[in-house]
Homo-oligomer: A and B are copies of this chain.
């Protein structure tokens, strides 16, 4: 079957990141970059809608195109590209933001072409929920709308976020965001609260503790692959989201079994992402490498259903 079309809307950014491996400067970043590139291994019908400044290196656009991504929706404006400067703790478990320069991203107004409006799957990266809603209003007949968000919108732009959530089928956020959004520490109860806000499915990302899916089919726990070398956690959640939504576009259906498989392909792409800086862990993959790692996840979590009696 032909894979479904996927529209990714989010940020394309340039990051300066400090950590145990020293400064990594002028790195390609942003949610749409990670989501789009990760998804491109599963559906050749991936489009990115974002905005960059006049300083943005054309080679990154070429990289997107080489991956088969429709980059026609990446608008180039006069001004600076969105820039994030951050520093990781030596154990990579926590990070602090040293500087954020929105640049042209401050004027981002996603305007979809007719082709983009025909998208069958939509992933709304972590941007202002008002902009997320503009995208939802423009797509014509989407089969699945998935979204991410963050604490900044949850606490400071809650009403707009709740309006957007009514239109979202599937929310992918991390555990702290889920707790904050629901006002509930327990993740089972937090997911139940969030599902009453609109999304029929909630994916809770937990970093090296894996990810949980809460939906009408119950709960599914995707493990994280223990890795001997982690260099850069930046974008891991977006790589997960890209593998997840990309696989669903590939499968073309969203039944419980497909969504479980999507959770594992999300975890696969997240694991590749953290092994290298920026998008380096994602840009040179092959179907065979991805399949090998999927098999590693299967081996990691497989056990026999036995009975004591």
Tell me the A residues contacting B by CB distance below 8 Å. 42, 90-91, 185-189, 206, 208-210, 212, 218-224, 226-230, 250, 257, 260-261, 263-264, 287, 290-291, 294-295, 298-309
User: In the complex, are the beta carbons of B220 and A301 less than 8 A apart?
Assistant: yes
Copy number in this complex? 2
Q: Which secondary structure dominates chain A's binding surface?
A: mixed
Q: Is the CB of A223 within 8 A of B223?
A: yes
Nearest B residue to A214, CB-CB: B226
Closest A-B pairs by Cβ, 3 of them: A209-B209, A221-B223, A188-B228
Given A91-B185, A189-B228, A209-B209, CB of A261 within 8 Å of CB of B223: no
Given the known A-B contacts A209-B206, A223-B221, are A257 and B304 also in contact in the complex, defined by CB atoms under 8 Å? yes
Choose from B218, B224, B230, B264 the contact partner of A299 (Cβ within 8 Å). Answer: B218
Bound Cα distance A261, B302 (Å): 10
In the complex, are the beta carbons of A301 and B221 less than 8 A apart? yes
| Cβ contact within 8 Å between A220 and B185 | no
Shortest A194–chain B CB gap in Å is 14
Given contacts A186-B228, A210-B221, A298-B305, could you give 7 more A-B pairs where the C-beta distance is less than 8 Å?
A: A221-B224, A221-B226, A221-B301, A261-B304, A287-B309, A291-B308, A295-B305
Please give, as numbers and ranges, the residues of chain B lying within 8 Å of A91 by CB-CB distance: 185
Cβ contacts under 8 Å, A228 to chain B: 186, 188-189
Q: Indicate if the CB atoms of A212 and B186 lie closer than 8 Å.
A: no
Residue of B nearest to A220 (CB): B300
Residue of B nearest to A187 (CB): B226
> A226, B230: Cβ atoms under 8 Å?
no
Do residues B290 and A308 form an inter-chain contact, with CB atoms below 8 A? Answer: yes
A261 and B226 form a contact (CB under 8 A): no
Query: For residue A290, which residues in chain B have a CB less than 8 angstroms away from its CB?
Result: 308
